[in-house]
Amino acid sequence: MAPLALTGKHALVTGAGRGIGFACARALLERGARVTLAGRDAGRLAAAAAQLAELVAGAELACEPLDVGDEEAVRAAFAGAAARFGRIDILVNNAGQATSAPFGKTDSALWQQMLAVNLSGAFHCMQAALPGMLEARWGRIVNVASTAGLVGYRYVSAYVAAKHGVVGLTRALALEVAAKGVTVNAVCPGYTDTDIVRQALANIVAKTGRSEAQALAELAAGNPQQRLVQCAEVAGAVAWLCLPESAAMNGQSIAVAGGEVM
């Protein structure tokens, strides 16, 4: 792999202020792409941009605050990003949110929130980025889904439904654009060392009385490697799907989970 294989490409990463999104932004910058960091917290994005500028010499990056659940905000932010760095060649839909509740206690508000952020957000971003990709006859869309998009998990029915929707949307759009130079794939991490998982650990400790080490072991138990996935490992899969030589990868949902899902 050429280290700067994405030179000249413009990537936009949602949920880029921390965790998997931050790692994806770094991986794409290291491969030569110009990167727009997108997310709801402008201060967090600015801090992430400053850190990335120190980590990656010569990095070209900018920030676009947005809420992926707001269609008009997405269109405005994507237009601003394109005006700065040119059309968006690579879209990484990473913004997500997970809230747990038994099905009987999953109310309409929780249901709609999980769909708005995890599924509709990806939809809005793809609609905003796709026209430029089709015009150029080159593009990469990578949706960061979850193993929850491939199998079921207890107590997160709304999140599981949304992530299954992301996987289905990935497959459908991949077929529509297959002959137009654009690929659409999903990366499906298992439990990853992110703020969302740390919150899940805190909830387990609070509700069950287990120690943090016991709670961590419980989450890691589903991974045959008996550990949490690292953000950089997810980012590596995302970056690979964006490379020119990955053009035959289309409509795939790749589990990054140590063998949990096969």
- 3-class DSSP state of 212: helix
Q: What is the pLDDT of residue 196?
A: 77
Catalytic residue, chosen from 153, 155, 159, 191, is 159
198 domain-assigned: yes
Compute the radius of gyration of the chain from its Cα atoms. 18
Torsion of CA 75, 81, 87, 88, to 10 degrees: -80
| Cβ contact 79:12 at 8 Å | no
- 216 and 147, same structural domain? no
- 122 and 89, same structural domain? yes
- 208 and 105, same structural domain? no
Which tokens sit at 259? 């063998």
- 165 and 127, same structural domain? yes
- 220 and 112, same structural domain? no
Is 159 labeled as catalytic in the residue annotation?
Answer: yes
- 219 and 244, same structural domain? no
- 100 and 34, same structural domain? yes
Q: What's the number of CA atoms in the CB half-sphere (13 Å) around residue 132? A: 23
- 80 and 120, same structural domain? yes
Which tokens sit at 71? 């269609």
CATH number assigned to the domain comprising residue 98? 3.40.50.720
One-letter identity of residue 81: A
Cα–Cα distance, 62 to 77 (Å, whole number): 11
pLDDT string in tens for the chain (262-residue length): 456 999 999 999 999 999 999 999 999 999 999 999 999 999 999 999 999 999 999 999 999 999 999 999 999 999 999 999 999 999 999 999 999 899 999 999 999 999 999 999 999 999 999 999 999 999 999 999 999 999 999 999 999 999 999 999 999 999 999 999 999 999 999 999 988 777 777 877 888 888 888 888 888 889 999 999 999 999 999 999 999 999 999 999 999 999 999 9
- 250 and 219, same structural domain? no
For residue 183, give every residue at least 6 positions away whose Cβ sits within 8 Å of its Cβ, in sequence order, or none: 139, 140, 141, 174, 177, 241, 246, 247, 249, 250
Write out the residue range of the structural domain in which residue 214 sits. Answer: 193-228
Q: What is the pLDDT of residue 236?
A: 98
Q: What is the pLDDT of residue 2?
A: 56
Q: What is the pLDDT of residue 1?
A: 47
Cα–Cα distance, 13 to 21 (Å, whole number): 6
User: What are the Cα distances from residue 215, in Å, to 205, 211, 218, 226?
Assistant: 7, 6, 5, 13
2 domain-assigned: no
Helix (H) or strand (E) holding 14: strand 10-14
pTM: 0.94
| Cβ contact 192:229 at 8 Å | yes
25 domain-assigned: yes
- 202 and 84, same structural domain? no
- 178 and 122, same structural domain? yes
Domain count, the chain: 2
